[in-house]
């Protein structure tokens, strides 16, 4: 019975990951009960797994791969602050503590990755998820038509949400798709060129059509990761990047209009002006984007003044349940986050929270890089590629944290911490294997990781 229940939890885990990555915001609206303020499916899986898990044993195993101290600070201080704030702020404290709650998916991922063949299944699922999400993302040029034809899902406040207008994660997923193309092993020069062209096309589409400033920072972070872990991938991307320049030449020569997010007049100068708008410099179509920078700087300065009002507030934070900006739209809806996840953590939980959060990320990357190196050293190509894919997803999200409220969105946060949990499980299995000896360690839960890949 326990084996069947374990397989059910693993399957539910994979379905939830697929739902958030493919359908992002609309999938967040699926809840129990299905109307009103129900419990989202992600939280249902989280609660079921945590209640059926031997948490002390799992945490001890996690401690074998990372220093658990910052994680315990993060969870204990954050949950303590949440319990205190929810008594005065009610629902809004729950809403603002999204990253704190979803970070527990680190335990979920670590636990369920120990089920037989779950890691192998996840690798297969991710291939399909990435391909589908990239193909679907290319349809963003028809977003208005898709919204008009899409069935409607009622939100928590009974607002109408189109099911098939899930383009919130398109930019990140396209770049992750490019990463997947660069990470896959290529057995021939022709395959290398094919994957390089595919990666180049996805990057070019993200730059030309989506026109998001975070894309530039994400590309730099991704290039840095590949330089460290897979230098040849950069040469592959160099094969595909000429697609962007050819596309720009064709657009300029024939005066074509591309339906981009900010402008239809694409040129090399546009990209330079777009980068400058990140520093508040912009005119014409980019004037609005440049003005947004000044607005965010105003939010951040306001938070700095509130945090430094006294020593206690600086150390403990402003707490959950209060909006971190004083900006409201025409409908009176207040922007609760300052479009910077690092500042949000600092504002909510003070120096204690941001210290623990940064240390957590350092520990996760340290464990990820070490596991990647060990997999490569022992010939486990499949496991190494999966860990590198997790690292790519992580750098894409963290690099966007400085200009967006990325980690306050469950469709990003849940996969982020769940993938890290899987990576830590692989690292743990490698450590156990090393301790027992390669030939002696044949536990079924580590079969996929323990045997060298034939690819």
> For the chain, what are the domain ranges?
2-450
Between the ranges 197-201, 307-311, 363-367, where is the mean pLDDT highest? 363-367
Confidence of residue 209 (pLDDT cuts 50, 70, 90): confident
Residue 442 has pLDDT above 50, yes or no: no
Q: State pTM to two decimals.
A: 0.90
| Greater pLDDT, 28 or 368 | 368
The strand pairing partners of 182, in sequence order, are none
Query: Tell me, what's the pLDDT at 452?
Result: 39
| Greater pLDDT, 1 or 318 | 318
Confidence of residue 445 (pLDDT cuts 50, 70, 90): very low
């Amino acid at each position: 019975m326990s084996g069947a229940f374990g397989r059910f939890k693993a399957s539910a885990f994979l379905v939830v990951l697929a739902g958030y990555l493919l359908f992002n915001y609309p999938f967040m609206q699926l809840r129990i009960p299905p109307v009103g303020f129900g419990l989202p499916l992600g939280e249902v899986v989280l609660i079921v797994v945590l209640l059926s898990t031997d948490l002390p044993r799992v945490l001890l195993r996690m401690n074998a791969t990372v220093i658990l101290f910052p994680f315990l600070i993060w969870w204990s201080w954050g949950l303590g602050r949440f319990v205190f704030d929810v008594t005065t702020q009610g629902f809004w404290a729950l809403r603002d503590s999204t990253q704190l709650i979803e970070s527990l998916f680190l335990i979920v991922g670590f636990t369920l990755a120990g089920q037989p063949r779950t890691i192998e299944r996840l690798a297969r699922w991710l291939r399909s998820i990435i391909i589908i999400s990239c193909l679907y993302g290319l349809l963003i040029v028809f977003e208005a038509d898709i919204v008009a034809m899409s069935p409607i899902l009622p939100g928590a406040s009974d607002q109408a949400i189109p099911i098939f207008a899930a383009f919130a994660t398109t930019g990140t997923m396209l770049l992750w798709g490019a990463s997947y193309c660069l990470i896959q092993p290529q057995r021939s020069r022709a395959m290398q060129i094919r994957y390089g062209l595919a990666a180049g096309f996805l990057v070019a589409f993200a730059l030309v059509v989506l026109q998001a400033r975070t894309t530039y920072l994400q590309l730099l972070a991704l290039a840095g990761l590949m330089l460290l872990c897979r230098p040849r991938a950069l040469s592959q991307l160099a094969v595909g990047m000429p697609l962007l320049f050819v596309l720009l030449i064709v657009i300029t020569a024939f005066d074509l209009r591309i339906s981009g997010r900010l402008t239809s007049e694409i040129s090399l100068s546009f990209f330079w002006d777009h980068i400058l708008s990140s520093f508040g410099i912009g005119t014409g179509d980019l004037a609005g984007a440049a003005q947004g920078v000044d607005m965010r700087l105003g939010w951040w300065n306001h938070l700095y003044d509130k945090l430094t009002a006294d020593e206690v507030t600086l150390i403990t934070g402003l707490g959950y349940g209060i909006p971190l900006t004083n900006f409201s739209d025409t409908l009176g809806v207040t922007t609760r986050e300052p479009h910077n996840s690092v500042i949000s953590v600092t504002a909510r939980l003070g120096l204690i929270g941001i210290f623990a959060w940064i240390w957590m990320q350092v520990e996760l990357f340290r464990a990820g890089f070490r596991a990647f190196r060990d997999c490569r050293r022992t010939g486990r190509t499949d496991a190494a590629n999966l860990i590198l894919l997790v690292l790519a997803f992580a750098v894409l999200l963290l690099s966007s944290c400085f200009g967006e409220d990325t980690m306050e969105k469950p469709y990003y946060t849940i996969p982020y911490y769940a993938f890290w949990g899987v990576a830590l499980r692989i690292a743990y299995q490698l450590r156990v294997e090393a301790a027992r000896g390669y030939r002696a360690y044949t536990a079924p839960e580590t079969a996929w990781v323990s045997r060298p890949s034939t690819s």
